Every structure is written in structure tokens, then in C-alpha cells.
Structure 1
Amino acid sequence: MTLPSYEDTKLGTMKRAALWLVTEVGEGNIFTKEAVKAVFPGVSQADRRVRDLRDHGWQIDTNREDASLGQHEQRFVRQGEPVWEPGKGTRPSATITQTQRRDVLAKDGHFCRSCGIAPGEIYAGTYESAQLDIARRVVRQPDGSEAVELVAECNRCRVGGRGLTADAGKVLAGAEGLSGMERRMLTDWIDADKREFSRVELIWADYRTLPEESRARIRQALSSGD
């Protein structure tokens, strides 16, 4: 199927920007804000229309997500919804109301759904306290379609998780393959909306964070104690 031209001024700027990224930049490649301005001269906030593509599942990284990028560089990582097609590219409301915010926070238990931290808690090894916000997350549904849903996320995870797609279908398929006992265990965790980790599991999690030199010392110490 032949794609429309990004030079077609009858299309909106966001659709033209999407076509330019696909046909001229290419996935995995870098572009700059200056390049966007040069391609769309006289178009106000053209760079903002590029950012709007993230609301439609497009992954476009800045130096906040990719430390190898310069301050004015962005990387076109992955194409999302083909917004230039008829019936697609309708922009979701950019404003999350206070009512929506309170509702999402209450349903999500007032903690980050990515890392589990609560507002005001200090990130490990820092003096920085967590703040909760509402993020839009692309979720792949069991039927293969994708939907943008709201979720509570802390300031760190919201930046690091941009462009990621959650997979509800994968979770459901995995649950269907569990034994009866495993399914009851999972159901209990879901009902409580938390899982208590054993002391051994907590030690294992801490061990996994150690560099290899320290992991080797731990392995040696445990082996000598047999």
C-alpha cells in the first residue's frame, strides 16, 4: 500500500510528521528539532505534534530515555498507530481531570504500579522522595488490539517507561496455563493486591543486585558453610 506524502498539506501536522518519520527518518534513527522545523517551515509547534504521536503508541526517545542522545536529538524507535489512515489518529484528551486522577489513584492503591513505591517514600540509595502521577500506558488486549489506559506511576518510572507496551493477553494466557493450586495462589495475591515475599526471596533479590565480584564472595561463603 502506497503511503500518502508527508508534503501533503491537506493532512494535519501530526500525520505529516508521522509519515516523515516512517519514510525519511526510519526506525532506530536520530533526528533533531531543527530538522523538524526545516521540514515543516512556518508550522507552529511542529515539534509538539511529533511528541503527540506518543499518545498513539509511537516510541520517540529523548536524552531522558536514551543517554546517548544529545540535548536536541530524538530517536524514532518504533512506529505506533498509522495515524494517517482514515478513522485513526484521533487525539485522546490531553487533560486528566482531578476526578479521573483521584479515581485512578484509589483503584491503584495509591502506589506506583511499576515499582510499588508509595508517594513520599525515599528511593533506595538516594534522598529523593517519590511522587505519584497518572500515566497513559499502551496495553495489548487479549484479542490483539491495543488500548491506552490510565495508571498510577511514580516520577521515575513514568519517564523510564515511555513507549513500553503492557500485555494483558500474555498475563491471561499465562494464568490459564497454571495448575489449580497455582491459580488459587495467584487469585489470593490478586484479591489482596499484594504479595508477601519470603525472607529467602528478599535475600535473593538483594543478591541479584550485587556485582559479580561480590556475588562470587557470597557463593564462596555459602559453599564453605555446607
Structure 2
Amino acid sequence: MEMPSWQDEKLGTMKRAALWLVAVVGEGHTFTKAQLREAFPDTAQIDRRMRDLRDFGWQINTNREDAELEAHEQRFVVQGAPVWEPGKATKASTAISAPQRRQIYARDSHICRSCGITTGQSYEGSQEGVQLDIARREVIQADGSKAVELVTECKRCRVGGRELTADLPAVLAGVRYLGALEQKILAGWIAADRREFSDLERLWGEYRALPAESRDKVREALDPDSEA
């Protein structure tokens, strides 16, 4: 089917926005809010109509997903369903409502479920405050099928983990492999939704973060045959 023109006003605004992205911007390229509004000067909510494309598999990143973008920029990453074709724009909306967003934050204890940082904190080594958002995570189900589930993530983890797929069967298999005592300990961590790390575990994490020269000094300190 021949692709219609994005300037065809007989089409809906969302369809025209999709065609504009394909014909004018191109996958992998950036555009600004000013360019979008210049292309659709008579559409008051063109930003929202373009966001609606995400419900049809279109990936359009802002600086929340791509740290290289400025606040006024967006990147057209991947084209989704050709919504201008008959029957392709009838998918039910998957937009997250405000009540649903609040429910997910509360369910996830207002914690980034990837790195554990919480709202109100700042990232280590910077003054950048944590911004939490809702991410769509692909999850392999117990029967091998895939489903998209909603999870709380911070901005940094969303940028770095967008292509991650969670493997539920692998986690369940790991749980079954544990002994009774280990399962009980894990159940306690899950019930509390937190885990306290021992001094030994914290030292291991701090050691792994050291540069190579400093790691050598720690190894020397632990070596009974070291002259130190």
C-alpha cells in the first residue's frame, strides 16, 4: 500500500504525526518540539497525539529515556504499526492513568525496582535528584509466553535498561533450587521488601568499585605472606 502524505488533512492528527515522523524525521533522528508544532500549527495538542503512537509500538524517546537529549528534543527510535492503514489504529489505549500511576508507586514502595534508589534521594556523587517513573518491562512468563508489566524505575535505570527482559522462569527455578532455610530467609526479605547487607558484603561491593591499583592493595592486605 502506498504511503499517504502526512499533509493530507483527511487523516487524523495521530496518523499524520506518524507519517511526518517517517517522511520528514526518519528513524534514529531527533526533532524538536518547535519543529513538531511548526509542522502542525493548527493542532493544539499535537504533543499528546504523537505520544499516543507509543500505544501502537512506536518508540519516541525524550530526555527521560535518552540522557543525550535536551529537554526540548525527542528522538524517533523505531516505527511501530502503520496506523494510517485501515484497522491498524484500533488498539485499545495502554496509557497509564494518574490513579494507576499512584497505585504502582505505592505497590513498589516508591523505590526504583532496578537499583533500589528512592524518591527524594540524590544519585551518589552528584546533586541530581531522583526522578521516578513507570516503565514497561517485558517479562517471560512461567509458560514461556511474554507479557509487558509495569514497574517503577528511576530515570537513569530507564535509560540504561530499556531493552531488558525479565526472566520469571529463571527466578522461579532459582527459588526451587534453594534449601528450606534459604527459602525462609528469602521469604523474609520479600515480606520486608528490603535486605540488610552484612559488613562483609558491603566491603565486597566497595572493593569491586575500586580502581585496579587500589584493588591490588586490598589483596596485599589480605595476603598472609605479604611483607605488609
Question: Same fold by TM (over 0.5)?
Answer: yes
Aligned to 1:96: 98
CA distance in 2, matches of 1:63, 1:223: 44
Aligned to 2:214: 217
One-letter code of the match for 2:165?
Answer: D
Alignment of 1:56-67 (within 5 A): 57-63=57-63, 65-67=65-67
CA distance in 2, matches of 1:187, 1:80: 45
Question: Which of the numbers 168, 171, 174 marks the counterpart of 1:172?
Answer: 168
Aligned to 2:76: 76
What's the CA shift for 1:108? Answer: 2.0
CA distance in 2, matches of 1:27, 1:187: 49
Deviations 1:181-209 (A, max 9, x none): 34865785364344444434323333344
What's the CA shift for 1:116? Answer: 1.8
CA distance in 1, matches of 2:61, 2:69: 9
CA distance in 2, matches of 1:71, 1:89: 29
What's the CA shift for 1:218? Answer: 2.2
Contact 1:137 1:166 in 2 (8 A): no
Contact 1:58 1:78 in 2 (8 A): yes
CA distance in 1, matches of 2:24, 2:173: 44
CA distance in 1, matches of 2:58, 2:95: 17
> Which structure has the larger Rg?
2
CA distance in 1, matches of 2:136, 2:122: 24
Name the SS of the counterpart of 1:60 in structure 2.
Answer: strand
Change (3 A) 1:203 1:160: same
CA distance in 1, matches of 2:109, 2:34: 43
Name the SS of the counterpart of 2:36 in structure 1.
Answer: helix
Alignment of 1:47-196 (within 5 A): 47-54=47-54, 57-63=57-63, 65-70=65-70, 72-80=72-80, 83-84=83-84, 85-86=87-88, 88-92=90-94, 95-97=97-99, 100=100, 103-121=103-121, 123-125=123-125, 135-140=134-139, 142=141, 146-147=147-148, 149=150, 151-153=151-153, 157-158=154-155, 161=158, 164=162, 167-168=165-166, 171-175=167-171, 178=174, 180-182=176-178, 185=182, 189=186, 191-192=190-191, 193-196=193-196
What's the CA shift for 1:145? Answer: 5.2
Q: What percentage of residue pairs aligned between the two structures are identical? A: 43
CA distance in 1, matches of 2:172, 2:96: 36
CA distance in 2, matches of 1:81, 1:174: 31
Change (3 A) 1:2 1:223: farther
Change (3 A) 1:2 1:172: farther
Contact 1:27 1:76 in 2 (8 A): yes
Which sections of structure 1, spanning at least 5 residues, go unmatched? none
Contact 1:138 1:147 in 2 (8 A): yes
What's the CA shift for 1:3? Answer: 4.9
Name the SS of the counterpart of 1:111 in structure 2.
Answer: coil
Change (3 A) 1:203 1:15: farther
Contact 1:83 1:89 in 2 (8 A): no
Instruction: Report the TM-score, using the length of structure 2 for normalisation.
Output: 0.66
Q: RMSD over aligned Cα, in angstroms?
A: 3.9
What's the CA shift for 1:222? Answer: 1.3
